[in-house]
């Protein structure tokens, strides 16, 4: 029971940390909609009331870097401004699917056609769903049209900050916690390593199973991209991958919760049924055509290990162990995001609980705009819409710059890979397998960044380069498995030694019981046979690990030559 | 805000969909997927028996499968298996070749020829005799590759 709860909590904490950066982005975008673009500007951005609002909402969603938690404050603001429900859900579903970072990452994972096909598939889904949703929820969506006057200058920035903090320490924050509850439930219910064999290609149940499990999932676009990559590399079901993308990344429990609260249970049930139905129809359609050629099905996938309990049954629990497991996957950017979320939430706490009257009074007072403003220089008036659009375009430009920062130049990546490779191989050579297991995923990720970074700067990625990067990742995965097998053997061997010692102690106690002697001899013989087999297995694995170490070393020079 | 179209089918879908979803989810979690992965041995990558040991072996196995298709003496099951294994071998050839000391310029013809043949094999073309020159060329590239690779020596 302790392991179940601890595993669920670890997954929830990891989810919260990965949501932090994009939650702040989502709050910022919502503040821009509210205080800069206003109702008219936001309506125009999302295509107004016409049919084009659905593809336009999809396109805006594709460009903005948010996840399915970061999208919550935005859709709340969109509803407040009376946008069409179809456009709201089209944006809510498509915005978390891709962003410039994940799209570039995704293009290296599989054939580019697959990722482009998935993107177009999502357009089809949100358009069909939007049409259905508009029919059922139109009147419910048109409510609370804002009519307030907005201030300008620093006061407006203050309004934005207060809005973000009060949202975070309010409904949006609560919905974010609901979203990570999905991870808590899955982490608690799914034992370690479950789902590994549930999504094999051409398994008729694979997309359906994925659709069921994906709804409570919360995943960032980058995480989903890496999962899609793993699924394609392991020859898993492309239909299940599509379900994971649309239902796992596109929505979470909080999305559902918000839709129920906003539009009612009946309409939500219809919406969800339509969504799952359309996604499954698309998934079964793409199942066969998108099976990658030349990829031998591995019979398993590790893509969903991140949703299962990170702890084995019977694991001794301590606060240090839980903390170490939880923080193992939290990187620098997540820590910064968590710190920023904590600070903004503190401001929200202060404004709601400590100085509520002062905050309300500050927000209520909108000074009259000066009638005469300078026509040049920094003091001149610029329309809210211009400032708002500049903010959004700036955000997209920032995403592009972030792409170049996230995917450095090949020379830098090769140096990082050299350092990571040294750590992996020295861990193998010194049998410090924990070190190797720590660095293998890091080296794997750098190999992907190498491909994307090269393609972004040279506008090409040759098949030879892709093949060498693929070979490195394949060998790294085989090495990871071989090391894990070896570790299991060591653990088994250690347990057997322990048991043997216990047996010897028992023998001393029962030395006068002669009738047991024959049985004991047989047991000894069996033990010897088992030890011989284990010794051979262990020897084979050591040889395999050594061969893989050599192969990775040889690959390094070919990889460097290919990318220079 | 209350839904405006909360008619009886809506309520029906609501109750059924919700109940069915949770029933299926719990079934899946606790019966289908709820087994702890005890050993990582189960997660081992399957290596097909016809996976070639090296380039020479790839060329040899490719020739065997191709001759089997040409002979026309196989029953339909064996014919399909032969064709499927030939397709695998052709698709794997670039990967096997990339894992050697071949340079990129030496590797590229193998890749291009493999892609060309793979596309043919994915189609419904059964006129196997037409593939002779491409198969021979690929086999030749594979068998000559180790000799042409940098660092090769007779010893």
CB pairs under 8 A between A and B: 145
Residue with more model confidence, A222 or B46: A222
Q: Which of A170-174, A365-369, B43-47 has the lowest mean pLDDT?
A: B43-47
Q: What is the pLDDT of residue A406?
A: 85
CB atoms within 10 A of CB B18: 15
A189 touches chain B (CB under 8 A): yes
A191: DSSP letter: P
Q: What is the pLDDT of residue A493?
A: 59
Mean pLDDT, rounded, of chain A: 83
State the Cα–Cα distance between residues A557 and B151, nearest whole angstrom: 14
Q: Which of A92-96, A233-237, B51-55 has the lowest mean pLDDT?
A: A233-237
Query: B40 to chain A nearest CA, in Å?
Result: 7
Q: What is the pLDDT of residue B111?
A: 95
Q: What backbone phi and psi angles, to 5 degrees, belong to A236?
A: -80, -175
Q: Which of A170-174, A279-283, A350-354, A535-539 has the lowest mean pLDDT?
A: A535-539
Query: A243 to chain B nearest CA, in Å?
Result: 15
State the Cα–Cα distance between residues A106 and A123, nearest whole angstrom: 17
Percent of chain A at pLDDT exceeding 70:
84
Q: What is the pLDDT of residue A306?
A: 82
On chain A, the residues whose CB falls within 8 A of the CB of B98 are 464, 467-468, 471, 558
B33 → closest Cβ in A198, A488, A555: A198
Q: Collapsing DSSP states into helix, strand and coil, what is residue A413?
A: helix
With CA atoms as reference, report the closest residue to A143 among B2, B66, B60: B2
Do B40 and A190 lie within an 8 Å CB cutoff? Answer: no
pLDDT in tens, B102-112: 999 999 999 99
Query: B29 to chain A nearest CA, in Å?
Result: 6
A137-176 residues touching B, CB cutoff 8 A? 137, 139-140, 143
Q: What is the pLDDT of residue B19?
A: 59
Instruction: Please say if the pLDDT value at position B22 is more than 90.
Output: no
Q: What is the pLDDT of residue A424?
A: 94
Q: What is the pLDDT of residue A419?
A: 95
Do A266 and B11 lie within an 8 Å CB cutoff? Answer: yes
B22 touches chain A (CB under 8 A): no
Quick one: average pLDDT of A71-90?
A: 92
Domain residue extents for chain A: 2-364, 409-563
Instruction: Please say if the pLDDT value at position A299 is more than 70.
Output: no
Q: Which of A344-348, A504-508, B1-5 has the lowest mean pLDDT?
A: B1-5
Instruction: Please say if the pLDDT value at position B34 is more than 50.
Output: no
State the Cα–Cα distance between residues A63 and A487, nearest whole angstrom: 45
A264 → closest Cβ in B3, B88, B92: B3
A404 touches chain B (CB under 8 A): no
Q: Which of A96-110, B28-42, B52-66, B129-143 has the lowest mean pLDDT?
A: B28-42
Instruction: Please say if the pLDDT value at position B39 is more than 50.
Output: no
- Cα A538 to Cα A357, A365, A426, A476, B122, distances in angstroms: 71, 75, 20, 19, 41
Quick one: average pLDDT of B45-72?
A: 86
On chain A, the residues whose CB falls within 8 A of the CB of B37 are 191-194, 196
Instruction: Please say if the pLDDT value at position B23 is more than 80.
Output: no
Instruction: Please say if the pLDDT value at position A242 is more than 70.
Output: yes
Q: Which of A43-57, A277-291, A418-432, A493-507 has the lowest mean pLDDT?
A: A493-507
Quick one: average pLDDT of A328-347?
A: 90
Most B CBs within 10 A among A141, A265, A266, A538, hence the mutation to make, goes to A266
Quick one: average pLDDT of A553-559?
A: 93
B48 → closest Cβ in A293, A296, A302: A296
Angle at B9 between CA B8 and CA B13, to 5 degrees: 120
Q: Which of A175-189, A480-494, B96-110, B118-132 has the lowest mean pLDDT?
A: A480-494
Residue A123, CB half-sphere, CA atoms under 13 Å: how many? 14
Nearest chain A residue (CA) to B49: A296
Nearest chain B residue (CA) to A264: B3
B125 touches chain A (CB under 8 A): no
A200: which strand partners?
A236
Confidence of residue B32 (pLDDT cuts 50, 70, 90): very low
State the Cα–Cα distance between residues B59 and B52, nearest whole angstrom: 9
Residue pointed to by tokens 């460009």? A63
Quick one: average pLDDT of A458-467?
A: 91
Confidence of residue A490 (pLDDT cuts 50, 70, 90): low
A463 touches chain B (CB under 8 A): yes
Q: What is the pLDDT of residue B40?
A: 45
Residue with more model confidence, A370 or A563: A563
Nearest chain B residue (CA) to A537: B41
B91 touches chain A (CB under 8 A): yes
Query: B73 to chain A nearest CA, in Å?
Result: 27
Do A298 and B14 lie within an 8 Å CB cutoff? Answer: no
B45 touches chain A (CB under 8 A): yes
A483-522 residues touching B, CB cutoff 8 A? 484-485, 488
Domain residue extents for chain B: 55-146
The answer to whether A89 touches A133, Cβ cutoff 8 Å, is yes
B144 touches chain A (CB under 8 A): no
Q: What is the pLDDT of residue A398?
A: 83
The answer to whether A54 touches A89, Cβ cutoff 8 Å, is no
Instruction: Please say if the pLDDT value at position A291 is more than 50.
Output: yes
- Cα A451 to Cα A250, A445, A458, A559, B97, distances in angstroms: 26, 10, 11, 11, 20
A274 touches chain B (CB under 8 A): no
Instruction: Please say if the pLDDT value at position A27 is more than 90.
Output: yes
B104 touches chain A (CB under 8 A): yes
Do B46 and A198 lie within an 8 Å CB cutoff? Answer: no
Confidence of residue A201 (pLDDT cuts 50, 70, 90): confident
Number of residues written out for chain A: 564
Do A481 and B94 lie within an 8 Å CB cutoff? Answer: no
Q: What is the dihedral of CA A125, A127, A128, A131, to 10 degrees?
A: 150
State the Cα–Cα distance between residues A243 and A93, nearest whole angstrom: 12
pLDDT in tens, A129-174: 888 888 777 554 455 555 556 777 788 888 999 999 999 999 999 9
On chain A, the residues whose CB falls within 8 A of the CB of B30 are 189
Instruction: Please say if the pLDDT value at position B28 is more than 50.
Output: yes
Q: Cα A242 to the chain's mean position, in Å?
A: 15
On chain B, the residues whose CB falls within 8 A of the CB of A137 are 3
């Amino acid at each position: 029971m302790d392991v179940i709860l601890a595993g669920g909590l670890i997954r929830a904490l990891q989810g919260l940390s990965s949501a932090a950066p994009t939650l702040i982005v989502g709050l910022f975008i919502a503040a821009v909609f509210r205080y800069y673009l206003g109702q008219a500007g936001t309506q125009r951005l999302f295509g107004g009331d016409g049919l084009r609002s659905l593809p336009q909402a999809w396109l805006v969603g594709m460009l903005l870097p948010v996840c399915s938690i970061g999208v919550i404050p935005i859709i709340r603001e969109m509803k407040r401004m009376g946008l069409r429900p179809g456009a709201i859900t089209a944006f809510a579903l498509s915005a978390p699917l891709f962003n410039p970072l994940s799209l570039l990452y995704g293009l290296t994972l599989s054939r580019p056609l697959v990722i482009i096909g998935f993107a177009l598939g999502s357009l089809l889904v949100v358009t069909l769903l939007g049409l259905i949703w508009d029919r059922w929820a139109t009147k419910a969506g048109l409510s609370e049209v804002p009519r307030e006057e907005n201030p300008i200058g620093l006061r407006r920035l203050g309004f934005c900050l207060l809005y973000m903090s009060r949202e975070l320490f309010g409904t949006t924050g609560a919905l974010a916690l609901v979203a990570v509850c999905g991870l808590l439930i899955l982490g608690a219910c799914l034992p370690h390593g479950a789902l590994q064999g549930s999504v094999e290609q051409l398994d008729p149940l694979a997309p359906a199973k994925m659709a069921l499990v994906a709804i409570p999932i919360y995943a960032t676009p980058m995480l989903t991209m890496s999962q899609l990559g793993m699924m394609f590399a392991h020859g898993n079901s492309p239909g299940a991958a599509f379900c994971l993308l649309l239902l796992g990344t596109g929505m979470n429990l909080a999305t559902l919760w918000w839709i129920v609260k906003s539009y009612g249970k009946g309409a939500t049930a219809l919406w969800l049924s339509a969504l799952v139905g359309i996604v499954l129809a698309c998934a079964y359609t793409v199942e066969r055509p998108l099976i990658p050629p030349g990829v031998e099905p591995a019979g398993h996938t590790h893509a969903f290990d991140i949703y299962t309990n990170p702890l084995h049954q019977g694991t001794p629990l301590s606060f240090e162990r839980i903390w170490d497991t939880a923080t193992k996957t939290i990187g620098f950017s997540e820590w910064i995001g968590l710190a920023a979320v904590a600070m903004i939430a503190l401001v929200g706490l202060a404004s709601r609980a400590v100085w509520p009257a002062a905050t309300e009074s500050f927000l209520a007072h909108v000074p009259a705009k000066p009638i005469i403003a300078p026509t040049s220089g920094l003091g001149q008036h610029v329309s809210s819409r211009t400032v708002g659009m500049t903010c959004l375009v700036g955000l997209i430009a920032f995403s592009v710059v972030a792409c170049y920062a996230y995917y450095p130049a090949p020379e830098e990546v090769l140096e990082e890979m050299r350092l990571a490779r040294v750590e992996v191989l020295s861990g193998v050579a010194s049998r410090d397998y924990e070190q190797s297991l720590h660095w293998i995923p890091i080296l794997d990720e750098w190999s992907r960044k190498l491909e994307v970074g090269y393609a972004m700067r040279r506008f090409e990625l040759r098949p030879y380069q892709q093949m060498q990067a693929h070979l490195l990742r394949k060998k790294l995965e085989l090495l990871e498995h071989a090391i894990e097998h070896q570790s299991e053997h060591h653990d088994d061997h250690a347990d057997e030694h322990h048991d043997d010692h216990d047996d010897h102690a028992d023998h001393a106690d029962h030395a006068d019981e002669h009738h047991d002697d024959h049985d004991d001899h047989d047991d000894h013989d069996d033990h010897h046979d088992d030890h011989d087999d284990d010794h051979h297995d262990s020897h084979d694995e050591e040889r395999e690990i050594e061969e893989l170490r050599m192969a990775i070393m040889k690959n390094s020079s070919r990889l460097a030559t290919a990318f220079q | 805000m209350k839904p405006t179209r909360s008619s009886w089918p809506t309520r029906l879908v609501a109750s059924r969909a919700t109940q069915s979803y949770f029933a299926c989810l719990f079934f899946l979690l606790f019966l289908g997927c709820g087994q702890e992965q005890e050993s990582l041995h189960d997660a081992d990558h399957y290596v097909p028996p016809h996976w070639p040991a090296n380039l020479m072996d790839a060329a040899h196995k490719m020739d065997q499968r191709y001759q089997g298709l040409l002979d026309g003496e196989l029953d339909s099951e064996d014919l399909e298996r032969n064709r499927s294994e030939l397709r695998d071998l052709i698709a794997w050839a670039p990967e096997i070749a990339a894992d050697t000391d071949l340079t990129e310029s030496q590797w590229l013809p193998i890749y291009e020829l493999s892609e060309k043949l793979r596309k043919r094999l994915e189609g419904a073309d059964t006129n196997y005799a037409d593939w002779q020159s491409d198969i021979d060329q690929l086999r030749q590239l594979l068998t000559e590759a180790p000799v042409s690779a940098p660092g090769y020596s007779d010893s």
